[in-house]
Amino acid sequence: MVRGGLETVIAIDIDDVTMSSVGAWLKQFHPGYTIEYIRSWNAWDHVDTCHSYEQMMDEFGMINPDNVELLPGAKETILELEKEHEIYFLTSKRKDMEAWTRVVLQREGLAHIRLVNNMTDNKAKDEYLYDVLIDDNPSIVHYKKLILFDRPWNRYVKAETRISSWSELKGVLYKYGNCSS
């Protein structure tokens, strides 16, 4: 990875930080449920019509990109940050989920940003180089460089830094790397 000048390296999770993956899954396969029903990382435990991790993953692989929206402010913030900082997407994706992810990134004008899949690399997200990671996974709340993106399934963990929207990001970035604002 190239690091030059004063830029900060910012790794950004895809699912439910950049785009509404769980919301799209529920809309398509479990209508009647919203993300507010999902109160832990084991989403299938909170949806009567989803019976296992395997079922959820299979359905996730078949998500229609037309159902996937970017989270409010994600695109604008990412495009602004990339003017000054090194940005890349760091995602845990089964291979069959990459296609719709890339369709959404293409549609939204974000396909030029590098997409790193830590499942493909067989590495944990803390094995990558970055100054800060923005992620919603409660099981990595112990990562030192994490900004936890608030979602119904991570509200039970205590995070050192938590934001509930993209508009809050700039207010906390100063704590990390070379971000000055």
Which parts of this chain interact with Mg ion (CB under 5 A)?
13, 15-16, 136
9 phi and psi, to 5 degrees? -95, 120
In whole angstroms, the minimum distance from the beta carbon of 139 to Mg ion comes to 11
Order of strands, edge to edge, in the sheet holding 86-91? Answer: 115-117, 86-91, 9-12, 132-135, 146-149, 162-163
Q: Which residues pair with 147 in a beta bridge?
A: 134
In whole angstroms, the minimum distance from the beta carbon of 181 to Mg ion comes to 25
In whole angstroms, the minimum distance from the beta carbon of 95 to Mg ion comes to 17
Q: Which is nearer to Mg ion, 7 or 15 (CB)?
A: 15
How many alpha carbons lie under 13 Å from residue 111 in its C-beta half-sphere? 12
Q: Which is nearer to Mg ion, 7 or 136 (CB)?
A: 136
How many alpha carbons lie under 13 Å from residue 71 in its C-beta half-sphere? 24
Q: Which is nearer to Mg ion, 33 or 60 (CB)?
A: 60
| Residue 32 in tokens | 């009647």
- Amino acid type, 88: Y
Q: Which is nearer to Mg ion, 7 or 16 (CB)?
A: 16
Q: Which is nearer to Mg ion, 8 or 154 (CB)?
A: 154
In whole angstroms, the minimum distance from the beta carbon of 21 to Mg ion comes to 7
In whole angstroms, the minimum distance from the beta carbon of 91 to Mg ion comes to 8
Name the residue whose CB lies closest to Mg ion: 15
Residue 178: count of CB within 10 angstroms of its CB: 15
| Residue 11 in tokens | 């790794």
| Residue 90 in tokens | 């760091």
